Amino acid sequence: MLRKADLGNGNYQNPIIYGDYSDPDAIRVGDDYYMISSSFCNAPAIPILHSRDLVNWKVVNYVCRNVPEYRYVNPMHGSGVWAPAIRFHENEYYVYFPMPDEGVYVSKARDPRGEWTKPVNIMPEYGVIDPCPFWDDDGRAYLATAVSGARVGYKSVLKLAEMSPDGMNILSESKIIYDGRNTENETIEGPKVYKRNGWYYIFSPAGGVKCGFQVVLRSRDLYGPYESRVVMRQGSSPVNGPHQGAWVDTVTGEDWFLHFQDVYAGGRIVHLQPMCWEEDWPVIGKRCEGETYGEPVMTYRKPHVSQSALDNMSGIPCEPDHSDEFDSDTLGLQWQWNANFEDGWFDTAAKESQLLLHAVKTNRLRQLSDYRNLLLQKWPAPEFTCETRINIRNLETDDMAGIVSMGQTFGGLAVRVREGAEGAAKYELVKITGTQEFDHNMAFAESSEDTAPLDSGLLETADFTIVFHYEVKIREYRDYLDRKDWQGNEIWVRHIPQEDIVMYLEIGGKTIADSTIRLDAKAGRWVGVKNGVFCVHRGNGGKTGYARVDYVRYQNHASEQ
């Protein structure tokens, strides 16, 4: 394990997942907890994580094989699946998810680990985000939503519409039930609706992703008016912007809250906070003296779950998978593609413990960041090393294979095959570095490419096997001015890690001197940096080959060991 949330002594430490599982929502069904998160344009879409103690989590499935709608055959950075919600109703699991350019979709399953139904767009409306279903005691169903300022030009309002009892149709126009404009609760979004002791509660983040806080609204009437109270702030903790998540309970009667923290390049990582109730208001985290809100805890005792849950917790402690020996007949659940994928892009070769990446033909004008078949996974720690071994013997002319770092700054380190004298293959080192910029929700990228010849004899001696290295190291910590609030006060985010990324390769145990790439890590559009592998064909047609990926192995950085 790279980072243990479970301390093994009855306590845990935050974050419980150092991985970019943004906008988490979760439910408990019996002894089982299921959590989902945003996935944007990556596929498969909407990861489902499972736990029995709220501390140890594994990815067990995805809701969608691919992102709905045809345009997601290409990477649409910042679009796709935003903050989803999961609920269990009438013995079925429901996931509602927004795509801000297309509307609100719903998918259902009897078993969250099984097949989910084809998503249905029940609210085809531009700019609607953050849906949450709610079934009242009388069986009537409702859908709470927010709006995207990046799409419709305004934000900070929460809306409610009635649905059919089966949750599959919208019956009324959405009505604004809370307006946070020109208040402290500006940028309120992500509503999660609950009911307790005759009160309707809406748990919502406000104040912005990087420097906001958690708000709870309450009313005796679902349509309001609502009282507002801040229930968690950063306080003296190092956890900036603690908000956007899920209230869950245990069978023993405890209450807990899952939320994320934006750590910039590393993405939006997941924390777990204790929660209590006072005079029908929640307090999340450790109560701040003299205040009605709490602040995040960094260590705390683990939740008290049932004995049956404890009896069925094999393989604990655990974390989402990252290293891969490719000894399975299916692709590991830690992997996602840069866009909607096709089965012909890869083959699993479990008997050989290899992944075969076929060289997918790509337009020569495409930037690396827009290659459809980048196979990526989330950073698993603030500092780490990743070693990837790839055999390129079966590449054809104009094929290229290697590793990639994907963020606003991106880079690729690869080997490409060229046709040499008398048709013989010659090999060249390819180093790609670039930057993405965003304008009106569109991504624009530019990059540079440096090449250098590789010694064919050295490759032959190494049986055409190359070891690629990817290292992430914190260079320093920095403070950022995030914005000004509604009263003009400066809002700062403090002590943010600044990571350096280094990539290089070795052949036959020899580090290739000119192979090093250095990047200043910067998160992508709403997502943390990802790293992974790729294999493409950039030519005028002709035969294509494949690369054999032997393994991808992560470990803590040497300074942490």
Q: What is the rounded CA–CA span in Å between residue 148 and residue 260?
A: 19
Express each pLDDT in 517-546 by its tens digit: 999 999 999 999 999 999 999 987 789 999
Mean pLDDT of the 28-33 span: 97
* Bridge partners (DSSP) listed for residue 300: 12
Check whether 550 has a pLDDT greater than 90: yes
Residue 443, both tokens: 């991504």
Closest CA to 335 of 34, 78, 45: 45
Which one, of 494, 495, 493, 500, lies nearest residue 477 by Cα?
495
Task: Check if the beta carbon of residue 488 is closer than 8 Å to that of residue 437.
Answer: no
CA angle 488, 494, 498 (to 5 degrees): 125
Q: State the pLDDT confidence band at 109, using cuts at 50, 70 and 90.
A: very high
What does the alpha-carbon distance between residue 214 and residue 231 come to, in Å, rounded to a whole number?
Answer: 6
Q: Which of 23, 25, 398, 499 is catalytic?
A: 23
pLDDT tens, residue by residue, 193-238: 999 999 999 999 999 999 999 999 999 999 999 999 999 999 999 9
Residue 5 has pLDDT above 60, yes or no: yes
SS3 state of residue 199 = strand
189 a catalytic residue = yes
Residue 324: pLDDT above 90? yes
Average pLDDT, integer, range 511-517: 95
Q: Is 428 marked active-site?
A: no
Nearest alpha carbon to residue 296 among 346, 361, 231, 342: 231
Letter string b/e over residues 521-545, b meaning 16 or more CB atoms within 10 A of that residue's CB: bbbbbbbbbbbbbbbbbbbeeeebb
d(CA 297, CA 485): 26
Q: Mean pLDDT lowest for which of 309-313, 469-473, 497-501?
A: 309-313
Per-chain mean pLDDT for the chain: 95
Distance CA 364, CA 323 (A): 31
CA-based torsion, 343, 346, 349, 355: positive or negative: negative
Question: What pTM, to 2 d.p., does this model score?
Answer: 0.96
CA gap 96, 87 in Å, rounded:
9
How many Å apart are CA 434 and CA 190, to the nearest integer? Answer: 33
In angstroms, what CA-CA distances link 373 with 80, 343, 361, 404, 551?
A: 17, 11, 10, 11, 18
Banded pLDDT at 368 (limits 50, 70, 90) = very high
Torsion sign over Cα 51, 55, 58, 63: positive
Please, are residues 183 and 215 in contact by the beta-carbon 8 Å criterion?
A: no
**pLDDT over threshold 80, residue 152:** yes
Q: What is the mean pLDDT of residues 249-271?
A: 97
Report the alpha-carbon distance of residue 292 to residue 232 in Å, rounded: 9
Task: Please give the backbone phi and psi of residue 259, each rounded to the nearest 5 degrees, phi first.
Answer: -150, 175
| pLDDT band at residue 561 under the 50/70/90 scheme | very low
Exactly one of 53, 130, 189, 499 is catalytic; which is it? 189
**What domains are defined for the chain?**
11-311 (2.115.10.20), 336-560 (2.60.120.200)
Helix, strand, coil % in the chain, rounded to nearest 5 = 5, 50, 45
Token pair recorded at residue 277: 């109730």
Q: Is the pLDDT of residue 421 over 70?
A: no
**Angstrom distance (rounded) from CA 259 to CA 255:** 14
Alpha carbon distance 7, 128 (integer Å)? 40
448 to 75, 432, 519: CA distances (angstroms)? 20, 6, 13
Q: β-pairing, 442-453 with 213-219?
A: unpaired
- DSSP letters, 392-453, are -TT--TTEEEEEEEESSEEEEEEEEEEE-GGG-EEEEEEEEEEEEEEETTEEEEEEEEEEEE
For the purposes of burial, counting CB atoms within 10 Å of the CB of 496, is it exposed (0-12), middle (13-18) or buried (19 or more)? middle
- In sequence order, which residues have a C-beta less than 8 Å from that of residue 439 and are 6 or more positions away? none
Residue 451 binned pLDDT confidence (cut-offs 50, 70, 90): very high
pLDDT at residue 558 is higher than 70: no
- Please state, in angstroms and rounded to a whole number, the distance separating the CA atoms of residues 406 and 207: 28
Closest CA to 39 of 77, 69, 88: 77
Hey, which residues does 443 pair with through a beta bridge? 438
